[in-house]
Amino acid sequence: MKILVTGGAGFLGSNLCGRLVRDQGNYVYCLDNMQTGRMENIRELMDKPNFQFIEHDIVEPIELKVDQIYNAACPASPPAYQADPVHTLKTSVFGMLNMLELARKNDATVLQFSTSEVYGDAQVHPQPETYWGNVNPDGIRSCYDEGKRAAETLCFDYHREYGVKVKVIRIFNTYGPKMDPKDGRVISNFVNQALRGEDLTVYGDGKQTRSFCYVDDLIEGIYRMMNSTDEVTGPVNLGNPGEFTMLELAEEVLRQTGSRSKLVHKELPKDDPKQRRPDITKAKQLLGWEPKVALREGLAKTIEYYRGLMGRA
C-alpha cells in the first residue's frame, strides 16, 4: 500500500514510519514541515527504497496517490504548540480538512491522531470516550485542545456527509526513544535534568497524576486501529491505564539514573489537568489491544536513549 504519515519526522510519526517501512509491500511517504520534527528521527529510513521524505506543511493542500493517511501533524507539547498558537490551530483545522479531502479523492482511510487533551481538566475519572470533556475555550492551551476537538468533528462530518473512511484515536501521554529531549513534557524533562545533574522541576505539589504509555505499545494500537474494519471509526482511547503522580515519576527517574538531583517546585501552569487516565475498554474490545510495557521497563529504555544522545553531543 501507499501510505502517508504526516508529522512523520516527529516523535510518534517517526516511530510509526519505522514500523510501516519494515512491513514489506508498503511505500511510505513521510511528510513534515520540520517545525518540531527532527531529521535525526528518520535518518535510518532515508536510504530505504520504500520510503520518501517530503518537506511540506499540511496547512497547504498536497496531491498524492495514497491508500492510507495517518495524520500525526501538530506540535504536541505545551511549549511547542503555544509558541505559535494560531499556526497550531490552523494545523489541526486546515490540515485536517486537507487530509480529509485527500482521502476523499483517493478513497483512502484517514486516521486522526487526536488526544486526551480533548477531555480537558476532566471531572470524570478515568476518562471514557463518552465523556465530552471540560475544556477552556479561550486559555493558553485552547489552540491545541480545541483544535483537536474541531479536527474530530471534521472527521465525523466527512464520514457522515461524504462516506470518507475515518478513524479517530485519542492518545494519552506517550514516551520513549525519539522524543525530543527539549520537548518540554514531564518524562523528557525529568530524565534529561537527572542525567545532567540538575534539579527536577515539579509543577504544583506534584500530586497531579498522568498515565504513561511506552511508544512501542502505542504504535501497535495505532496500527491495529488503522487496519480494523471500516465500521470501527472511534474515537478510541489509546494509553496505559497505570496512573502515577509526578512525585512518583520523579522518584523512579532518580532511582534509575542514579542522580542526586533535588526536586524544585514551581507554579502549576494554567489549565493543567489534575488527573489523566484512560478507560481502554473499547481498545480491548475492538482492537484486542492493551499496553504491555510497564513504566519501569519503558523508562529504562528511554533513559538509555537519552544517554546515547548526550554521548554524541
Rounded-to-integer distance, Cα 274 and Cα 137, Å: 18
Instruction: Kindly state the cell numbers that stand for 21.
Output: 517501512
Rounded-to-integer distance, Cα 81 and Cα 140, Å: 10
* Annotation says 144 is catalytic: yes
Residues sharing a CB contact under 8 Å with residue 282, sequence separation 6 or more, in sequence order: 128, 129, 236, 237
How does 212-221 read in b/e, with b if 16+ C-beta sit within 10 Å?
bbbbbbbbbb
Question: Which member of 27, 29, 81, 144 is catalytic?
Answer: 144
φ and ψ at residue 188, rounded to 5 degrees: -65, -40
Type of residue found at 311: G
* 141: DSSP letter: T
Residues sharing a CB contact under 8 Å with residue 112, sequence separation 6 or more, in sequence order: 71, 96, 151, 152, 155, 166, 167, 168, 169
Rounded-to-integer distance, Cα 98 and Cα 6, Å: 11
Would the CA dihedral through 76, 81, 83, 87 be positive or negative? Answer: positive
Instruction: Kindly state the cell numbers that stand for 189.
Output: 524533562
Q: Catalytic residue numbers?
A: 144
